[in-house]
Amino acid sequence: MRAFTEHTGVVAAMDRANVDTDQIIPKQFLKRIERTGFGQFLFFDWRFHEDGSDNEGFELNGPRYSGASVLLARRNFGSGSSREHAVWALDDYGFRVVIAPSFADIFFNNCFKNGVLPIPVSEEVADELFARVADRPGYQLTVDLANQEIKDEDGLSVPFEIDPFRKECLLAGLDDIGTTLQHEDRIAAFEAARLTT
């Protein structure tokens, strides 16, 4: 998993609440066994018409969000089924950060396991960020995980909370397996001792 320390990127604003995992990555694309290649299917039913052409009315298809790596959304982002593929699709598309007033629990946990930083903010902060994105094409945010701060070039500074263990894992680029392998010597010693008894 890629480490996350500080990230600066263009913000894509998705002014929608209750965006569920079925919309983030529709079920017909869950047959792949790799964790990569899902970005092309992100928000598929919203991004494309039935004939495969771009839906120009969908937020992410606008040129102002080209190359965006910070996603701003409304409350209850990632609701619905527990598919981890939703985070894989966001990551593969290029998003490193998702900011919203609230997240579905399983989606929230899956983000940390895959190197995507979900940041809950108040409704008031979300409103302010949506306003700044609307007023400034190419608007960028910097997310400083070490100092737990969201900031921009115009003086915005928003602190955020994060579980210390999850913060440590992101800073080190450790998923569940990587965290476990930090204790590989002790695991091997336990297994060796177990086999002799």
Structural domain spans, the chain: 6-196
Q: Nearest 10 degrees: CA dihedral of 5, 11, 12, 17?
A: 70
d(CA 7, CA 146): 11
Name the one residue in this structure whose structure tokens are 């699709």. Answer: 89
Does residue 10 contact residue 70 with C-beta atoms inside 8 Å? yes
- Indicate the pairing of strand 140-144 with strand 117-120: unpaired
What is the tens place of the pLDDT at every residue in 125-153?
999 999 999 999 999 999 999 999 999 99
Q: Does CATH place domain 6-196 in 3.20.19.10?
A: yes
> Angle at CA 132, nearest 5°, toward 92 and 149?
65
- The DSSP bridge pattern shows strands 149-151 and 140-144 to be antiparallel
CB atoms within 10 A of CB 167: 17
Q: Is 194 helix (H, G, I), strand (E, B) or coil?
A: helix
Mean pLDDT, range 79-105, rounded to an integer = 96
- Sign of the CA dihedral with 170 first, then 122, 24, and 20 last: positive
pLDDT tens, residue by residue, 41-71: 999 999 999 999 999 999 999 999 999 999 9
Coil/strand/helix, residue 70: strand
Dihedral pair phi/psi, residue 73, rounded to 5°: -140, 180
pLDDT bracket for residue 191 (50, 70, 90)? low
Interacting residues of 84 by C-beta distance below 8 A, sequence separation 6+: 110, 113, 114
Q: Write down the pTM of the prediction.
A: 0.91
Residue 183 has what pLDDT? 57
State the pLDDT at residue 188: 62
H or E stretch covering 47: helix 44-47
How many residues are given for the chain? 197
Q: What is the pLDDT of residues 175-184, one digit of tens each?
A: 766 666 565 6
**pLDDT of 106 strictly over 60:** yes
CA 179, CA 172: separation in Å to the nearest integer?
Answer: 9
What percent of the chain lies above the pLDDT cut of 70?
Answer: 90
Return the pLDDT at 32.
Answer: 80
Mean pLDDT of 104-108: 97
